[in-house]
Amino acid sequence: MQTPKQLFLYGLFFSVITILFWGMLAIALKLTSGFADPITLTWLRFFVAGIILGLWQWQRGKLSEFRHLTRRDYGRLIATGSFLIINYTSFAWSLRYLLPGSAQLSFQFAPLFLALGGLFFLKEKVSGLQWLCFLTLGIGMLTFFHPVFGTQQADTIWVGFAIIQVSAMAWSIYALLQKSLFSRLSPSNILLGVYVYAAIVMLPFTSPSQFSGISLSDWLVTGFCCLNTLIAYGAFAQALRYWQTVQVSAAIALTPVTAFVLTELCVLLGWWPSLITSSHADALSLFGMLMVVASAISVQFLSVSMARRKRTLATS
């Protein structure tokens, strides 16, 4: 049996891996914008992940779950996959307009959309403190982007911001649909079903020929994007084994900070100067980032607190 210290260290290790890989993913996707369109790259990521995960689940004898699905279950699985396709594609597309750190920070509106989805579709309650956190998140976002107000960059950044919100909304709907499938499929098989579905339906809209003739470094970036999907989500699942969900969620909220730091490190080292540039964030912008991250973390803890209070009232 593992000690509390071991549980903490294992949870910390896998949470750090998740944050690091999701932070690096935004930079890698930015680099692919020079040789691959978002749809083709997303298809390739799903295709590779589907093959690897499919072989893994087959070897473990876990594919039998699909035999027990009803037509309605398959319909929900298709809907889940459709929204994850939108999420992946639109996030990659947004990086044509935003820096990696800005894109990850803008995605922090996802908890708001998830809460609204729970409010309207699952009849879940949103507390006043949670609404205050969402308001603070919005103010923090405006504060972070304040240097570009009134500049020539403003229109480009707002286009990217709008695309990111489409990605965040799609992810929130995906998460709600995925939750409805947990009683029928394991998380790994849900992802497998999504990957296979996406690889099939996206194929007619892709141009794999874009990858012919690209350099070795471009292939390495592409390979990293494909493997990142499995590594990051795998580490995320492992982190949940050792830490409570709220601890992992709070840690994941630091992903934008990681992406921001890694972006500035690339600029400092002179890597990919034609694609990766400094955000030139001032002290007020960094304070805005802090507000966004703090709000995203606070929402997670408030959600757990409300759930515990609800269980206590139900048992009393």
pLDDT digit string (tens) for 268-278? 888 888 888 87
The CA distance from 131 to 77, in Å, is 31
List the chain domain ranges.
4-315
Helices of type H across 182-215: 187-202
CA diameter of the chain: 67
Residue 304 has pLDDT above 70, yes or no: no
Report the range out of 28-32, 77-81, 113-117, 281-285 with the highest average pLDDT.
77-81
Residue 126 has pLDDT above 70, yes or no: no
Q: What percent of the chain has pLDDT over 70?
A: 84
Q: Which of 297, 301, 289, 296 is nearest to 110 (CA)?
A: 296
Pair of tokens at residue 229:
């999907």
pLDDT in tens, 201-231: 999 999 988 888 888 988 999 999 999 888 8
* Type of residue at 193: G
pLDDT in tens, 142-183: 787 777 665 666 778 888 889 998 998 898 888 778 878 878
Residue 248 has pLDDT above 90, yes or no: no
Is residue 256 within 8 Å of 24, Cβ to Cβ? no
Radius of gyration of the chain, Cα coordinates, nearest whole angstrom:
20
- 10-34 burial: b if 16+ Cβ within 10 Å, else e: bbeebbebbbbbbbbbbbbbbbbbe
Q: Degrees (nearest 5) of the Cα angle 264, 271, 154?
A: 50
pTM score, whole prediction? 0.80
pLDDT in tens, 10-25: 888 888 898 899 889 8
pLDDT of residue 85: 92
